A and B are shown apart, each in its own frame.
Chain A
Amino acid sequence: MITSTHKEGQCPGLRPLSALRGVRPRRSGWVPIVVGGGAALVGASGAMLCAFLISGVTSGPVDWWALVTSGVWSPQQSLFGVLPMIWGTAVVSLLALAVAVPIGWAAALGLHELTPARHRRTLRMAVEMLAAVPSIVYGLLGVVLLRGLMSRLFGVTGGDSLLAAALVLSVMVLPTVVSVSVDALADVPDSVRETGAALGLSRVEVIGSAVFPQARGGMLAGAVLGLARALGETVAVFLVIGRADGPLASTVNGLLRSILQPGQTLTTKLGGPEPLLAGTSGTHWATLCALGAVLMCVIAGLTLLAQSRRLDRRGGRTRFPPRARRHRGARDRLGVASLRTALALPILLAVGIAVVVLERGTPALDPGFWATPAAGASGGGVRDQIIGTLLLVATAGVMAAAAGLTLALLIGEYATPRVAGWMRTATLTLGGIPSIVLGLAGFWFFGSALGWGKSWLAGTFLLGLVATPIVALAVTAQIGRLPRERLETARALGLRRSQVVRSVLLPYTRPALVTGLLLGLARAAGETAPLLFAATVFSGAGGMPAGVVDAPVVSLPTHVFNLAQDAADPAAIRAAWGAATVLIIIIALLLIVSMPIRRRLEKERV
């Protein structure tokens, strides 16, 4: 009605474009170059790890058959059987997932589907705070709080048990599951919810039948990332699992009972003292490297299983179609209530942990503690440690963002489906490798092969390697959810592949990139093992390194680790909690600062 007059008045029709047409702009040619560079970096890291393990395994005779069939591990008697460790690994990580995945999924659903948009971000941040707590603190909390509970509830003497380790791990895995799942849910278009609800489905029915099937792929990715996290964790498991070797029980009953007894996982075996006692050649060392190889195989196997089409069907038929039930209203209210409860759980945990940590970490409340350098064994503050940690985390963040993104683009866009499948498995395996192995490999590579001393750069590299798979997998999962029509429309408008990547794929994956980076860096910031071996010292170095390849730094997580290990006097323990609290506060600040950025990124995703 009004438009036509307007058209005549101001816009005299569309002129031919010939006047404007020139060379095509913005080839986005840097995209393939960057992807290539990232691929090279990731490939080099993989090669380093493999070279380390292969050179280790071949440095002495390994009896592979006995390794995977025998139940007795005793280096003194040259008996090397890893069955009990494999059992421990399986029990601990699967139990952890069995607890964390249902709760995490339910919490994610409660968070994204039942919470008004304006509260979502705050609640999500509260859950992600759980990721900010460094492993050593989880371990100490487990020692202090969980063991007593275990011994009272199950009559486990001491409370050290596979079950305790699984519970600690499940809390550590929870934020990963929740965060990645929330991203997946955010990608389900609102029209799906609307259509479901318009057909008379109740809230839980909409969630269960309309939303969940579409988010399932991404939520599974969250679970798989959680699995990698569980498999790779060392320090926290260390402190509550008991770490006693023992022959494998032969009866079902015995196996079940072993869950309530101390045990050992592949990771704790590798992270324990043995690698240092074994030297760097001979049967013992070779067998330990073989253990690393076995662990990688276990992870790869679990990954393949989790990726199998059976679990991750993106379309197709629902196998057990739901049936109409009686009392749909009551069921709906019950379902909503339980989802909300599941959401409350991680948030209460986060609050509880914050209270416990703050209570013990009183030194952290003193500004002087933040601003003065450490003195002697346990005096002074943690100024240099803060600077060192920030340096390491920032540089590792840059590396993980670049490498993770390129890896994700390779998997999600450039590789053929078959290659992509293998690359995804490799990435997950990298993510599940215990950081201790990364530390040893880094120590071997930078220290022995390159002849560097301890160096912050090596630390950056190794921490980056810890965070890279998390970023890569979060982003890959999101690329997989990109609506096909969007790609088609972009292509129909004449965009080149690199331009499609630059303008459709990259913007779409930004939320996952941020989530992956936050989760990855939160984990990297709490990581001790790679730093202890390759990058930090207890004292005598500043926060800012004095050089590049031969300049160690000090860092908060390793500081906490050292203080908590053997400190004789109460001052050291106080300092340890103080430093841990500082670390948690820093990561919390990081999360809070990232909130507005995320808000912007997520608003753009519709």
Chain B
Amino acid sequence: ACTGKDGKRRNVLRVSGSTTVNPVAADVADVLRSQGMEVTIDTQGGSAGGISQLGAGQIDIAMSSKPLADADRKRFPGINLVATEIGRDAVGIVVRKSVHDSGVTSLTRTQLARIFEGKAASWKEFGGPDLPVYVYDKEPGRGTREVLDKYLYEEAATPPPVQPNGRYAIVGGNEETRTKLRTTEGSVAPLSAAFVEGSKELALVAVDDVPLTPQNIVSGKYPLARPLFLITNGSPQGNARTFIDRVLSAEGQKVVTQHGYLNLAQLGKR
């Protein structure tokens, strides 16, 4: 895929980007490597970082957990970004079990906006216990964050700045988020649904009364789902083609479900 100026560069397929897609890509790459293909997988800078590197010609496939935005295309005018969806991940709104059990089972869009803008003081406001709301927001650039922002504010400009009140912190990775949720009373955060399973302290709330279920995601009723993409410059060629085909194959799609995501078949796209 990449031929350097000296022509001596090895024929290595370079994949980089979202940590959400990484497990799928890593497993697939492992299989391909055993068949003699050279693939490097990297997760530098998340989805946005992947797209930047693809734009700069440093990699061949960008992994992304957010759809391509116009801004991305505008940033790299010389590049024809082509995204291939490989599955979908649902973003859950995760609260503490205690909050959930005492009545906060569903939140509306306006309620979520209040919470993530740091305006909500107590869970009482939402029918829960008299417990301060502690917000863990994902750092900008994370796919999870963008899915939520897109839902809360649609395409409308940018979210307003957060009111600092001492009950707002930013988190990075999913594991970090989960640990912090588990250990903080009254906390709430957007988090990949796959991470909530099996956790005694945490619970998912429904969004606008739509619970997070595979059916609701497939049907599109649940609003906070994000597609997972492999992005290439132009339609995939050579090794990149082999790689993406492998992800889209039956075995590849099985890997997608193994890591807790919905595959294309479940989404009815097959």
Give chain A's interface residues, CB within 8 Å of chain B.
72, 74, 76-77, 143-144, 147-148, 151, 157-160, 238-239, 242-247, 257, 260-262, 272-274, 276-277, 279, 375-378, 447-448, 451, 453-454, 532-533, 536-541, 546-547, 550, 552, 562, 564-569, 572-573
In the complex, the answer to whether A376 meets B30 with C-beta atoms within 8 Å is yes
In the complex, the answer to whether A566 meets B22 with C-beta atoms within 8 Å is yes
In the complex, the answer to whether A243 meets B195 with C-beta atoms within 8 Å is no
Contact of A273 among B33, B39, B142, B175 (CB under 8 A): B142
Known: A157-B186, A243-B169, A376-B26. A566 touches B175 (CB 8 A): yes
| A92 CB to nearest chain B CB (Å) | 15
Interface bits B31-51 vs A (CB < 8 Å: 1, else 0):
001000011111111101100
Cβ of B219 under 8 Å from chain A: no
Cβ of B110 under 8 Å from chain A: no
Residues of A within 8 A of B56 (CB): 448
Q: In the complex, which residue of chain B has the Cβ closest to the Cβ of A563?
A: B175
Contact of A272 among B20, B52, B139, B259 (CB under 8 A): B139
Contact of B19 among A274, A547, A565 (CB under 8 A): A565
Q: How far is the CA of A473 from the CA of B22 in the complex (A)?
A: 41
Contact of B184 among A76, A157, A453 (CB under 8 A): A157
20 contacts between A and B (CB under 8 A): A76-B158, A77-B158, A148-B183, A151-B184, A157-B132, A157-B166, A158-B184, A243-B139, A247-B164, A276-B49, A276-B52, A276-B141, A376-B27, A377-B24, A377-B27, A565-B19, A565-B43, A565-B175, A566-B20, A567-B23
Known: A77-B158, A564-B173, A565-B19. A279 touches B75 (CB 8 A): yes
Known: A158-B187, A276-B52. A377 touches B164 (CB 8 A): no
Cβ of B194 under 8 Å from chain A: yes
**CB under 8 Å from chain A, chain B span 143-186:** 157-159, 161-162, 164, 166-176, 179-180, 183-186
In the complex, the answer to whether A244 meets B9 with C-beta atoms within 8 Å is no
Q: How far is the CA of A242 from the CA of B164 in the complex (A)?
A: 12
**CB under 8 Å from chain A, chain B span 183-229:** 183-187, 192, 194-195
Cβ of B4 under 8 Å from chain A: yes
Q: In the complex, which residue of chain B has the Cβ closest to the Cβ of A532?
A: B44
Q: How far is the CA of A561 from the CA of B119 in the complex (A)?
A: 33
Known: A540-B12, A568-B23. A274 touches B140 (CB 8 A): yes
Q: In the complex, which residue of chain B has the Cβ closest to the Cβ of A572?
A: B23
In the complex, the answer to whether A239 meets B176 with C-beta atoms within 8 Å is yes
**CB under 8 Å from chain A, chain B span 44-94:** 44-46, 48-49, 52, 56, 58, 75
Contact of B41 among A276, A454, A538 (CB under 8 A): A538
In the complex, the answer to whether A539 meets B185 with C-beta atoms within 8 Å is no
Q: In the complex, which residue of chain A has the Cβ closest to the Cβ of B145?
A: A273
Tally the A-B contacts, defined by beta carbons under 8 Å. 179
Residues of A within 8 A of B20 (CB): 566
Q: In the complex, which residue of chain A has the Cβ closest to the Cβ of B16?
A: A537
Contact of A277 among B40, B141, B166, B180 (CB under 8 A): B141
Q: In the complex, which residue of chain B has the Cβ closest to the Cβ of A73?
A: B161
Knowing that A157-B186, A537-B16, A562-B22 touch, tell me 10 more A-B residue pairs with CB under 8 angstroms: A158-B136, A158-B183, A160-B169, A238-B172, A262-B170, A377-B26, A377-B27, A378-B23, A552-B40, A568-B260
Q: In the complex, which residue of chain A has the Cβ closest to the Cβ of B164?
A: A246
In the complex, the answer to whether B170 meets A244 with C-beta atoms within 8 Å is yes
Known: A72-B161, A453-B58, A562-B43. A273 touches B179 (CB 8 A): no
Q: In the complex, which residue of chain B has the Cβ closest to the Cβ of A573?
A: B175
Q: How far is the CA of A143 from the CA of B42 in the complex (A)?
A: 25
Interface bits B109-145 vs A (CB < 8 Å: 1, else 0):
0000000000000000000000010101001111000
Cβ of B269 under 8 Å from chain A: no
Cβ of B270 under 8 Å from chain A: no
Contact of B10 among A74, A262, A274, A546 (CB under 8 A): A546
Q: How far is the CA of A453 from the CA of B42 in the complex (A)?
A: 13
Cβ of B247 under 8 Å from chain A: no
Q: In the complex, which residue of chain B has the Cβ closest to the Cβ of A268?
A: B170
Known: A244-B164, A279-B52. A538 touches B58 (CB 8 A): no
Q: How far is the CA of A532 from the CA of B45 in the complex (A)?
A: 9
| A50 CB to nearest chain B CB (Å) | 23
